[in-house]
Amino acid sequence: MPDPARLAEVADLLDEDLLTLRETFALSIDLPRSPEAPTRKVNPDKAVRYCEDCAVLGYHSYLHEHTWLARCPFHAVPLKFAYPQTQTGTNYVRRCKTLAQIMSDACPYWPGAGQQTFEFDNCESFAWLSNWIARVSKASALFSKRRVWTSVEQIFQNIGADTHLVGRLHALEPIPFKMRPLFDEVQDGWGADIQRFPLQARRELSEVSDLGLDSLFSIYKTIAAYTATPPGFARDTDSCIQALQSHHSACRCEWGREKAGWANHWVRVHPDDWPHWNLVCPYAVAREQLELATGRRLEVLTRRQREAEEIALIMRCHSLMERGLISMTPCANASPEGRLYSMPQIWPPMEWVGTPWLNAVLDAATECEVSALNSSLCEWLDDIAQGNSPVQFTAAPPLIWLSETEDGLVLIKWHRRRKRG
């Protein structure tokens, strides 16, 4: 915020009231954003969200348009929606016209500045909110700085991201009961499991980071899931899949996923009508998601996808072998440097070797992925069983990340205990 005297000078120069200018120059208030909760487009339906009490004063704030807020932080009254009446002009013009209409209806002296004004620093909710945002931004930065890897499953992304973010921030800096009505929703039950790894683990990970950690993770998972003595995560994936199957001995699902071109969409089906040649039920989708993420994924890919992945893997054999991360299996027809002479008949043609701490980190992170994805999928299936549509879920996405610390690495897995109401 610039100094008050300078601000008054500018206000005078522009013939603008001081309140508007102070808001313009104030630091913007928003939730601390991160890769898994990027800035949300406010009001996707192009409506104007406003506060009736503010409108009486001829005032509107960008804060009113934050979808995670339910009430005006200055007046603590519920925010209202107004939909553009005109179809002409760009969205921006339509929104401006709508806002101008709200103001001229509500404010007796609009567009002039009246005598009536309010000091937003004196508003209790606003003062608390700006304070809380400052504290959670700091806490969340400490919690997520120097992230080297993040796991986010695509299928659960972008739905309720703001609500989940508020819930996680509430776990870091609790929102007092009195302030809860300000928010659209405050989810309880969020918490994080934390595993620490020593400096040697950080060294081993950084030695291979030039190969791309995301790609190494997926190569590791694909290869390790196929080994004769599979690691913990592969056994976990199998038992999750078995548990799903035991809950679903005969399909009575009311939804089916249909493949339409490149996209999928869900259709309502009668529970007596299974099987359908062109539809997959939610349980089969859940099983497929687990296989794809942490199971024998090559088996559930289409032929074309499988071929692409196999070729991508072959292309990397040589460099991975050079770094001692893999070895070729005896039945792979390969040169000592890891170059294949012919397309292997048995997949995968390599075994994961890795290094001790790298393997420990990869294993732990993948085990977290299995359990997080499984909880999300079970919540999703629960929601569907309760009558929700498969695209209108409330399940939280699996969210795991790995950060570097002074003395090693820290693996963080977020989870949410849901109360069934």
Q: Determine if 279 is a binding residue for Zn ion (CB under 5 A).
A: no
Q: Determine if 126 is a binding residue for Zn ion (CB under 5 A).
A: no
CB of 126 to Zn ion, least distance (A): 9
Nearer to Zn ion, 284 or 340 (CB): 284
Q: Determine if 30 is a binding residue for Zn ion (CB under 5 A).
A: no
Nearer to Zn ion, 281 or 317 (CB): 281
Alpha carbon distance 313, 143 (integer Å): 34
Closest C-alpha among 39, 18, 43 to residue 28 = 39
Nearer to Zn ion, 80 or 418 (CB): 80
Alpha carbon distance 86, 125 (integer Å): 35
Alpha carbon distance 393, 379 (integer Å): 8
Closest C-alpha among 286, 281, 356, 343 to residue 315 = 343
Among 37, 48, 58, 74, binds Zn ion (CB under 5 A): 74
From 67-75, 177-185, 387-395, 397-405, span contacting Zn ion (CB under 5 A):
67-75
Q: Determine if 148 is a binding residue for Zn ion (CB under 5 A).
A: no
Among 102, 133, 136, 253, binds Zn ion (CB under 5 A): 253
Nearer to Zn ion, 53 or 65 (CB): 53
Q: Determine if 75 is a binding residue for Zn ion (CB under 5 A).
A: yes
Q: Determine if 63 is a binding residue for Zn ion (CB under 5 A).
A: no
From 26-34, 44-52, 174-182, 393-401, span contacting Zn ion (CB under 5 A):
44-52
Q: Which two tokens stand for residue 213?
A: 């950690």
Nearer to Zn ion, 51 or 161 (CB): 51
Among 48, 54, 133, 328, binds Zn ion (CB under 5 A): 54
CB of 243 to Zn ion, least distance (A): 15
Q: Determine if 72 is a binding residue for Zn ion (CB under 5 A).
A: yes
98-117 mask for Zn ion (x: CB under 5 A)? --------------------
Q: Determine if 251 is a binding residue for Zn ion (CB under 5 A).
A: yes
Among 224, 234, 240, 281, binds Zn ion (CB under 5 A): 281
Closest C-alpha among 267, 83, 76 to residue 180 = 76
Among 30, 53, 184, 404, binds Zn ion (CB under 5 A): 53
Question: How many other C-beta atoms are found inside a 10 Å radius of the C-beta of residue 101?
Answer: 15
Q: Determine if 162 is a binding residue for Zn ion (CB under 5 A).
A: no
Nearer to Zn ion, 74 or 401 (CB): 74
Nearer to Zn ion, 197 or 393 (CB): 393
Nearer to Zn ion, 74 or 197 (CB): 74
CB of 229 to Zn ion, least distance (A): 33
CB of 86 to Zn ion, least distance (A): 25
Cα 336 → chain centroid: 43
How far CA 421 is from CA of 74, 163, 392, in Å, comes to 32, 18, 17
* Residue 346 DSSP class: S
Nearer to Zn ion, 53 or 351 (CB): 53
Spatial neighbors of 402 by CB under 8 A, at least 6 apart, are 147, 148, 149, 150, 205, 361, 365, 409, 410, 411, 412
The count of chain residues that interact with Zn ion, using the rule CB under 5 A, is 10
Q: Determine if 283 is a binding residue for Zn ion (CB under 5 A).
A: yes
CB of 197 to Zn ion, least distance (A): 40
* Residue 315 DSSP class: H
CB of 50 to Zn ion, least distance (A): 8
CB of 171 to Zn ion, least distance (A): 29
Closest C-alpha among 395, 386, 392 to residue 254 = 386
Q: Interface with Zn ion by CB under 5 A: which residues?
A: 51, 53-54, 72, 74-75, 251, 253, 281, 283
